[in-house]
Chain A
Amino acid sequence: MTDPIIRLSGIDKFYGDFQALYNVNAEIRTGEFFSLLGPSGCGKTTLLRTIAGFEDVSAGHVEIAGQSMDNVPANRRPTNMVFQSYAIFPHMSVAENVAYGLKARKMPKEQIKTAVEAALKQVGLAGYGDRASHAMSGGQRQRVALARALVLKPKVLLLDEPLSALDKKMREQMQSELRHLQRAVGITFILVTHDQEEALTMSDRIAVMFEGRIGQLASPQELYRRPVNREVAEFIGVMNFLNVSVTNGAGGTFDCEIAGLGKATIPAEQAPGGVDASVTAGVRPEMLTILSDENSRSEREASGIVQDVYYYGDMTYYDVQLDGVDHPVTISMRNTAGRTVLSRKDRARVGWGAESVLLLK
């Protein structure tokens, strides 16, 4: 594995008495698409701005490409930023915006022209150079902002919620374009977003942040399949939680009695935070199965009553109240050919497996 392009060590950030970041440690790999994901106010934008150099750290260090960034101002860091508002200079044309950073580097005029044209082509704006920047649409401004940052060939491109101002369709298009662009230029991208779907679909790795701390840093798959705690599990996708009592914890496995489901032996790696009185059992909706006909069998079965049915065409979501549990669990089923869709008040047999249950704190 290559050396990390960014190393964050022990970063604290205070605003007055308010602490925005608590001892943040992370390494971001060269060339990866990295996301900072979290609810608003979790410190993700603050962290991005400390990397960019707009915020001083109160404690700790930012290192970029092996160089300490202590006392290096934003204008001398090998990072560039795409702002949430895009921050396109309204008094300059598109080409002047893109050339802005190159002119600061005193690059010869001819070279600037070539570089600007190449950058505009890269983001799909070839021929737009002479346009007035305030006449561009939201999506186009976004591309100008990208071109303006990428033309400087930064070691790291920082993107602060760049898609939040776009409508749904445009956002989905830009998501795939950004991913392609990142692969094409090979620059490390760090994206700040509050949209878990966006983070999951675009990123190589994601740091989920809560209240100034990194809750988990992992690949999208790992985050979804093996969240380290209840907070992360709730934030990424849907997770059903059931009470659990652990009867025996010897030999790397836990013998459990899960409310509504029954007994199971769960391996220790499915209890990332260990086990104590506060632990609950978590299971994803698609890991539970409705056994809709007589012949279908599962390793383990439970039963309950269908409370609500949400039919989505390709999928059906059921809220099922398992026997002996006071709140329903969500179960998702693919509507394959010949599968019956149950109705409200129907009794349902629910199949499950011990390998899909997590013990979370």
Chain B
Amino acid sequence: MKSGTWFKLYIGVFLIFLYAPALLLPVFAFNDSSIVSFPLKGFTLNWFNVLWETEALHTATKNSLLIAVSTAIIATSLGILAARASSRYKFRGQKAVMGFIMVPLVLPEIIVGVSLLVVILQMGFDLSLWTIVLGHVLICTPFCVAILSSAFLSLDQSLEEASFDLGRSKLATFWLVTMPLVLPGVVSAMLISFTISLDEFIIAFFLAGTEPTLPVYIWGQLRFPQKLPSLMALGTILLILSLTLLATAEYFRRRSARKTGIEDAGGFL
């Protein structure tokens, strides 16, 4: 079929467009030249070695990890509560409440960053890593709610009723039946939040105090051309890390879907 061939050609070009930056990242990370441009000069691991020796980078990484882990835990906890409430209970104003919780999904991040900055400064608090966590939890919670809602919804409600009917209390039912079956969704939500937080720049830039996060550190370094090749190496490591985490998240989400007997073709959103 002729239209099919054109279609495939378009998809091919589109995939090149989509992957161009991601593919260039490792290319320049291993390129033996201090200028990030073509033509390529040769292979080196030097830029990765530079990363090991940069103290500031290590501090920024530690900060980012602390923020990402805290964000993942808090956002997932808030997500579990909201997702459970929206999928199992009916209450007046439910749609409005859930819509409101999901708003950060479409709100420009600059608005989130600016408004939190204003409040924190007005309240007289100092900017710190924790102020970034506050902002990140806000933008990650909607993702967690979305993932966990589908986990709770795909759970056959009669499983919980069956447990109750067979003599277990509501609490025992939650731990013995509900939790094991939505656990993959919980893991998936945590990994997604962790990944989003680790890479988030716009909010972090507004809310960072004296301690930079990894993206804030990278932003600072982008101005210095001689730092660029090592940043490419750093980007490569981050990409691999993100992909590993996401593949794990996807694996758990699918396993969750399979366990509860739901076939689906959904992605992360």
Question: Are A and B a genuine interacting pair, yes or no?
Answer: yes
- CA–CA, A91 to B158, complex, Å? 15
The interface bits of chain B over 161-199 (1 if a CB of A lies within 8 angstroms of the residue's CB, else 0) are: 111111111001000110011000000000000000000
Q: CB distance A90 to B164 under 8 Å?
A: no
Question: Contacts A104-B172, A134-B259; is A87 near B167 (CB within 8 Å)?
Answer: no
How many contacts A-B (CB < 8 Å)? 65
Q: Are B162 and A104 in contact (CB under 8 A)?
A: no
In the bound complex, what is the Cα–Cα distance between A101 and B173 (angstroms)? 11
Interface flag for A148 (CB, 8 Å): yes
Question: What CA separation (Å) do A84 and B161 show in the bound complex?
Answer: 12
Q: A75–B261 contact, CB under 8 A? A: no
Interface residue ranges of A16-54 to B (CB < 8 Å): 52-54
Contact bitstring B142-171, A, C-beta under 8 A = 1, else 0: 000000000000001011011111111100
Query: Which of A73, A76, A100 is most buried by chain B, counting CB atoms within 10 A of its CB?
Result: A100
Closest residue of chain A to B155 (Cβ to Cβ) is: A90
Selected from B156, B176, B259, the residue in CB contact (under 8 A) with A87 is B156
| B259 adjacent to A100 (CB under 8 Å) | no
The answer to the question of A152 belonging to the interface, with a C-beta cut-off of 8 Å to chain B, is yes
A83 contacts chain B at the CB level, 8 A cutoff: yes
The yes or no answer to B242 lying at the interface (CB within 8 A) is no
**B158/A83 in contact, CB under 8 A:** yes
B161 touches A83 (CB 8 A): yes
A74–B180 touching, CB < 8 Å = no
Q: Which A53-95 residues sit within 8 Å CB-CB of chain B?
A: 53-54, 73-76, 79-81, 83-85, 87, 89-91
Q: With an 8 A cutoff between CB atoms, is A168 at the interface?
A: no
Q: How far is B252's CA from A19's CA once the two chains are assembled, in angstroms?
A: 43
Q: Is A105 an interface residue (CB 8 A)?
A: yes
Main secondary structure of the interface of B (DSSP, over half): helix
- Contacting B at CB under 8 A, from A140-179, are 148-149, 152
A52–B165 contact, CB under 8 A?
Answer: yes
User: With an 8 A cutoff between CB atoms, is B77 at the interface?
Assistant: no
Q: In the complex, A89→B261 CA distance in Å?
A: 11
With known contacts A85-B156, A90-B181, A105–B261 Cβ distance under 8 A: no
Of all chain B residues, the one with the shortest Cβ separation from A76 is: B167
Say whether, besides A85-B158, A87-B162, A105 and B167 are in contact (CB < 8 Å). yes
Given A75-B165, A75-B168, the answer on whether A90 and B158 have CB atoms closer than 8 Å is: no
Inter-chain contact B167/A54, CB cutoff 8 Å:
no
Chain A residues, Cβ within 8 Å of B165: 52-54, 74-75, 79-81, 149
Q: How far is the CA of A104 from the CA of B173 in the complex (A)?
A: 10
Contacts A90-B261, A91-B181, A91-B259; A83 near B164 (Cβ below 8 A): no
State the CA gap A218–B158 with chains docked (Å): 31
Given contacts A75-B164, A85-B158, A105-B167, 18 further A-B contacts (CB under 8 A): A54-B164, A73-B164, A74-B165, A75-B167, A80-B166, A83-B161, A83-B162, A87-B159, A87-B161, A89-B162, A89-B163, A100-B166, A100-B176, A101-B166, A101-B168, A104-B172, A134-B261, A152-B166
Shortest Cβ-Cβ A-B pairs, 10 listed: A101-B166, A87-B162, A87-B158, A104-B167, A83-B158, A81-B165, A87-B159, A91-B180, A75-B164, A104-B168
Which A residues lie at the B interface, using CB under 8 A?
A: 52-54, 73-76, 79-81, 83-85, 87, 89-91, 100-101, 104-105, 134, 148-149, 152
